[in-house]
Structure 1
Amino acid sequence: MAAASAPPPDLLALDEHVGQRPVTFRLELVDRLGVRRGRLTPLRSSTPSLSHDTTATISRRVTGLTLGAGDSALIRPLTDRIDIAMVLGATPPLMYPLGRYLIADAVSVHTTGGTTTALTLYDPMFIVDQQLEAGFDAGGALVDTAVRRLLDGLPIGELVLDATEQNSTNSWSAGTSRAAALLDLATVGGYVKPWFNHTGQLRMPRASEPAAQAPTIDLDHPRRVLRGSITRSPQMLSAPNRFVVVSNDPTSDAAPVIGTYDVPSSAPHSINQRGFIIPTVVEAQLPSQRHATVYARTLGIQQAVYEVVELSTPPDPRHDGYDVVRFDGQLWLETGWEMPLTAGGEMRHTLRRAYPSDGDL
């Protein structure tokens, strides 16, 4: 019988009651063309942290990063990028990318021991979040087509977006942030807010009910939540349970187009359970009832306020963006996380409760 080799151990899976693992973080300097220029070593006295916030235009930022004199002399803030990766194991090490970042702010401090530099890093949405030099008109095109045209020529790498049947007649004037136009198009097209993932791709998936998805991360098996780190906040006493989108062309005599989305009746603050409506009403220029309905649903999925839990785990690079997480036997949508880029740190997560839609009950 032929000998079989044992599969390599899963270094991300911890045994019960084990809360730490050997881990390091690698920061590598690259120029704007991707040519690698050397490794960076933050000062031991600094505590750099990488955060992801789905509610922000620029979702990922690195703060608290301070370089010593040698690295400070090496970096070129206007043109360099910094690749960040998590490293596990030693023979050979496993590398988990955590994204590529631009230098958004660099503050030099001159001391007798040399010049140190405190850096703030942004993901490539910083490139997108600049003013349009000329107006942009979607021209009735499908939203995915309009998005590709809006971003054409920008040095931001690969764009990965789902197809959509939604079209857009919206336009934006010169001086408007290109990122603002992108976010508007995302909502019209039924997408979640776009973000740059661990591998540097700009991701734009269609919005879907989190409770109808299979979890991408399971915090229950094996249990990885650190004891004493869990805080819960209902945030539902004044939360809206209906999202209304009104589209009214001021040049038309036609009645306004109105789209609505109600939070699932299984949610404690739903119209069915509270007995009255707490609406959020927004205006948007949309061409049809179908567009208004999709717009309202997308707003509701992204902005509805449910029970929120914050908890800590060991650093885990599998958490990316809009992950559906199983915790305490329930499904949650991860809306943010913060990971210290130092050994022994705790990764903090923000999860929003997912309730099944009325069709899934």
Structure 2
Amino acid sequence: MASAPPPDLLDLPAYRGQRSASFRFDLIDGRNGVRRGELTPLRGSSPPSLSHDSTSTIPRRLSGVTLGVEDAKRINQMTDRIAPRMLLGDGTSYQLGRYMVSDSSDLVTSAGSTAPLTLLDEMFVVDQELDVGFDAGGQLVDQAAARLVDGLPIGPLVVDATEFTSASAWSPGTSRANALRDLAAQGGYFMPWVNHQGWLRLRRAFDPASQAVTIDLDASRRVIRGSISRTSDLLVAPNRFVVVSNDPGSDAEPVVGTYDVPASAPHSIERRGFVLPKTVDVQVRSQAQATVYARTLGLQQTVYEVVELSTPVDPRHDAYEVVRWDGLRWLEVGWTMPLVPGGEMRHTLRRAYPETKGGEA
């Protein structure tokens, strides 16, 4: 005897043309994590929408949430969080992060006041000015990052290990998030973000062309017809990234790290025939670290070939997913997800080009 496989409600195989799904909005006390009930945003012409932009200091935004009179009375906009999740017809539940109110207004009606809200993820807490200076002190970058955010009322920091240290310091008044982004680049990480589980995440930068695919859009044919658009800034894209670290108080030669985009890329030095450099001045301690810094900048640049397309809403997309589409690997750098059944999720994918022996200097 054989048992039938469980229904696939996210990949939507060819034999399945529809699925059952809904969204729930939990009210969470941001001080202790206690769930205070469920919110029911008002329905309107513009449903709630969740977006992720990996180039932004605060990558995630929850917009279009309008609370009715009773829900507006229940929420403490100073301390509460809203935690949306997607519920599938088979009972599976997917978290979509935690969000705090950043902007609100009261719309006064005869029945009371409703509250249109704009919410940001908990990187908003990190993106505040340092009240005292912070010195990395030569620590490993992952340890310095943990010390930088220690004590903040946010989810746990989940950071990949790194062998690189930081000797940088930031003065009072500097954004803590900017300091964290500087540390991320020095340690060879992608830019920090808060993931679906509410964790502050630092992930080592990787070449998507050599990584395993995490989302396969070719296998399930979920891309919506007529939704595909392609853009490219390859004509002006840098093909060499140079990092220079020069200690003005020392007679030592400056430390220089260089990364050339892979020769397989259409804007590479080999294909263009000349160098379009991008040079940054940072404080790092070794050529190896400067080279990793330069490579990280190259992997994160947003001027590669980009495609935008739509699929049914899929909560498995988080950040820096390796997506197969049209037979190629792409790195997902952004998405917009309407939190409504039947909505179309918009994805921004950046082309991945395989490394070659001449791709890194």
Same fold (TM > 0.5): yes
Q: Secondary structure at the match of 1:232?
A: strand
* Counterpart for residue 33 of structure 2: 34
Runs of 4+ aligned structure 1 residues displaced above 6 Å come to none
CA distance in 2, matches of 1:256, 1:37: 56
The partner residue of 1:115 within 113, 116, 137 is 113
- Return the offset for 1:16: 2.6
* Counterpart for residue 272 of structure 2: 274
Q: Is the 8 A contact 2:228 2:308 kept in 1?
A: yes
* Counterpart for residue 342 of structure 1: 340
* Counterpart for residue 43 of structure 2: 44
The partner residue of 2:258 within 260, 263, 281 is 260
1:245-298, CA deviations, whole angstroms, 9 ceiling, x for partnerless residues? Answer: 111111122222211111100000000000011111111112221221111111
Asked if 1:250 corresponds to 2:281, the answer is: no
* Counterpart for residue 63 of structure 1: 63
The partner residue of 2:8 within 7, 10, 17 is 10
> 1:1-361 residue pairs with structure 2 within 5 A?
5-16=3-14, 20-32=18-30, 33-45=32-44, 46-89=46-89, 93-303=91-301, 305-359=303-357
1:183-231, CA deviations, whole angstroms, 9 ceiling, x for partnerless residues? Answer: 0000000011111111111111111111010110000001100000000
CA distance in 1, matches of 2:167, 2:302: 26
- Return the offset for 1:42: 1.1
TM-score, normalised on structure 2? 0.95
- Return the offset for 1:157: 1.7
CA distance in 2, matches of 1:108, 1:57: 28
Q: Secondary structure at the match of 1:99?
A: coil
Point out where structure 1 has 5 or more consecutive residues left out of the alignment. Answer: none
TM-score, normalised on structure 1? 0.95
CA distance in 2, matches of 1:250, 1:360: 32
Q: Is the 8 A contact 2:263 2:358 kept in 1?
A: no
Q: Secondary structure at the match of 2:236?
A: coil
CA distance in 2, matches of 1:230, 1:81: 35
Point out where structure 2 has 5 or more consecutive residues left out of the alignment. Answer: none
Q: Which amino acid aligns with 1:38?
A: G
Q: Which amino acid aligns with 2:213?
A: P
CA distance in 2, matches of 1:165, 1:37: 42
Q: Is the 8 A contact 2:19 2:89 kept in 1?
A: no
**Aligned residues: CA RMSD:** 1.6
Q: Is the 8 A contact 1:20 1:314 kept in 2?
A: no
- Return the offset for 1:21: 2.6
Q: Is the 8 A contact 1:19 1:226 kept in 2?
A: no
- Return the offset for 1:113: 3.0
Higher mean C-alpha deviation, range 159-168 or range 297-306: 297-306
